[in-house]
Chain A
Amino acid sequence: MNLLPTASAALMLFSALVQLVWLFRPGRPPEKASHWLLALSAALLATVITWRSMLIGFPALTGSYESLVFYAAFVCLICFAYRLQTRVPYSPGVQFGATIAAFALLAVANSPIAPQALLAPIPALRSGWLVAHVALSFVGESFLVCSFFASAAFLATRDEARRLRYDRIAYTAIAAGYPIFTVGALVFGAIWAENAWGSWWSWDPKETWALVTWLVYTAYLHLRLIRKRRDSLPSLLAVIGFLCALFTFFGVNYLLSGLHSYG
């Protein structure tokens, strides 16, 4: 079972290599293999989580390792779905960026900063609300990974047609990720906290940073109502929003202490 994350990482790298070759051959029709490699990679990671869940008798989403594996799997799954859909413009660059992000998440999961020891959850974490809170937060954040690369690509180019395309990708990803993140991180998080501690909001650093992330994307959605789509400010906010999401997970866990110090 320990080989599965390694095999998954190898598939991601192979997929990224295939995508990279096609990135430098813009004239060719899009390749048809990389997204299937990512789907396989996500399936392997899902197997890891299922296996660990069976061993501890509870959905294995309560530690940093499992959360990162779940996050990486979902980014791969979104890349797969993104490649298959036809409504939103397809950008090989955005998919490549998201693939590298999924690989990076898995690499961090397998690094010493995320302990891999399989431990059953402490009493406060044995809650269905917590599972929904963590799972939906990371599903939402997986969409935000795509919005980050689309917005970064928007800021990096001066070509108007490309900018409009990247803006559409970023907006669609945020329109899908923002509601899921809101329900997962804030709504289910508050219900879980009320159930566990009798305090639905404690201004703990992780809660505050989740709110900061949510506020940045809220500002993005409002800004997009009044600014032209060629304007750089919404894209800049989308980039900042994702950096805040990253800080909420990594920065708060390792730099600031609070109620969420365990995950």
Chain B
Amino acid sequence: MAAILRFLRSVRLAIILISVLTALSAVSTLIPQGREGAFYSGRYPEALSLVILGSGFDHFFSSPLFLGPALLLFVNLCACAVYRFVRELGKRGRKRFGPDLLHLGIALLCVGSVLSFAGRQTSYVELAVGESARLADGSDLSLDNFEFLKYADGRPRDWISTVSVTKGSETRLAAFAIRVNHPLKLGRFSIYQASHSTNRLLVLKDAIGPERLLSAGDRLQVEGKSFFLLQTDDGKGQASFLEQGAARASPLRLAIGDALGSMKLAGFKDVEVSGLQAVADPGFPIVLAALVLAAAGIALSLAQKIGDQTA
């Protein structure tokens, strides 16, 4: 038992595992990750593609090839940290806890990484000004304003989504500006400015009512018939519908000015759309604490080293 513990906390084992992880990680960057099997068999000779797929090099960082040595390194790190810490506590002279803090920080980083990997949730929504989306806690996130700021040369400077959050009649947050590098923290979720695009909408009018805006995927009921908008603009100024009758659906292609029952296709309208991404990462607070701990460990080790040299 003592021999096993000695082996598990040994510096030699740490060096071997670090070397293995280093070499394999470097190789993995040369192989495209997360593609279909056919991609590897098409790109590489048959034997090599079989090796890549069989060994897990196609998804290296979640494969046993990486996780096995990483787990062993985690055990090695913990065993070494405990052993060192107890040894330092028993020392009479100057105690060195810098490396222990660093080891503890990295071990905690491993725990945070696993939590992050296993528990991270994301969802993405595209909103135009005035639209809203329901959040996981039942409140509504509304996009009040969207600005696309540009430099003088036309390059993007910032995307700013001004949002408000309401639950029922209660306003929980008003006029918060979400920008890149400035997410909105809302409970366990953070909401990020992820993208921006322009959506083309189809404008429909009837004789008396207000104009109606449709985007691809919307459904319209006119005179008892159901129309599903497949494509707003095919590039030739025509919109594609699917007319859904009782027996079968039939395609319908209409140009601006054409009638759709009692309605008329009045034109197109381009609207700015903000892409917002909600992320919940239960591992990140632990990762942050681990990084602080590791940085403190490094700083302490360095300070002690400099102190020793000065002495």
Q: Which residues of A contact B (CB under 8 A)?
A: 87, 119-120, 122-124, 126-127, 129, 175-176, 178-179, 182-183, 186-187, 190-192, 194-201, 203, 205, 208-209, 211-212, 215-216, 218-219, 222-223, 225-226, 244, 252, 256
Contact = CB atoms under 8 A, between A and B. Distances in A.
26 contacts: A120-B155, A122-B156, A123-B158, A123-B159, A123-B180, A123-B193, A126-B158, A127-B181, A176-B302, A178-B298, A179-B298, A179-B301, A187-B291, A191-B288, A194-B281, A197-B192, A198-B122, A199-B279, A208-B25, A208-B26, A209-B26, A212-B25, A215-B21, A219-B18, A222-B15, A223-B15
Contacts of B85: none
B272 to A, nearest CB: 15
A178 B151 CA distance: 38
B198 to A, nearest CB: 17
Nearest to A87: B309
A182 B192 contact: no
B28 A208 contact: yes
Given A120-B155, A123-B157, A197-B192, A215 B22 contact: yes
B179 A123 contact: yes
Nearest to B179: A123
A38 B257 CA distance: 73
Interface in B126-167: 151, 153, 155-159
Given A123-B159, A222-B18, A200 B287 contact: yes
Given A126-B158, A126-B180, A200-B284, A120 B151 contact: yes
A124 B181 contact: yes
A203 B183 contact: no
Interface string B230-272: 0000000000000000000000000000000000000000000
Contacts of B61: 203
A182 B18 contact: no
A248 to B, nearest CB: 10
A176 B180 CA distance: 33
A215 B18 contact: yes
Nearest to A204: B29
A223 B292 CA distance: 25
Interface size class of B (residues with CB under 8 A): 35 or more
A244 B183 CA distance: 34
A182 to B, nearest CB: 6
Nearest to B279: A198
A183 B287 CA distance: 14
A82 to B, nearest CB: 15
Contact of B299 (A179, A194, A203, A209): A179
A190 B294 CA distance: 13
B303 to A, nearest CB: 10
A219 B19 contact: yes
A116 to B, nearest CB: 15
A232 B58 CA distance: 35
B12 interface: yes
Given A183-B295, A198-B122, 15 more contacts: A87-B309, A123-B157, A126-B181, A179-B299, A182-B298, A190-B287, A197-B192, A198-B192, A198-B281, A205-B29, A215-B22, A216-B22, A219-B18, A222-B15, A256-B30
Interface of B: 11-12, 14-15, 18-19, 21-22, 25-26, 28-30, 33, 61, 113, 116, 122, 151, 153, 155-159, 179-183, 190, 192-194, 277, 279, 281, 284, 287-288, 291, 294-295, 298-299, 301-302, 305, 309
B181 A196 contact: yes
Q: Is the interface of A mostly helix, strand, loop or mixed?
A: helix
A219 B15 contact: yes
A208 B183 CA distance: 25
Contacts of A194: 281, 284
B25 A119 contact: no
B183 A209 contact: no
Contacts of A129: 181
Contacts of A216: 22
B22 A219 contact: yes
Nearest to A88: B309
B295 A182 contact: yes
A200 to B, nearest CB: 6
Contacts of B301: 179
A77 to B, nearest CB: 19
Nearest to B21: A215
Given A127-B181, A203-B61, A226 B116 contact: no
A222 B277 contact: no
Nearest to B291: A187
* Shortest beta-carbon contacts, A-B, top 10: A198-B279, A123-B180, A179-B298, A215-B22, A127-B181, A205-B29, A187-B291, A219-B18, A198-B192, A203-B61
Contact of B180 (A182, A196, A203, A244): A196
Contacts of A178: 298
A83 B98 CA distance: 29
Contacts of A211: 25
Contacts of A187: 291, 294-295
Nearest to A128: B181
B91 to A, nearest CB: 17
A187 B26 CA distance: 20
B192 A200 contact: no
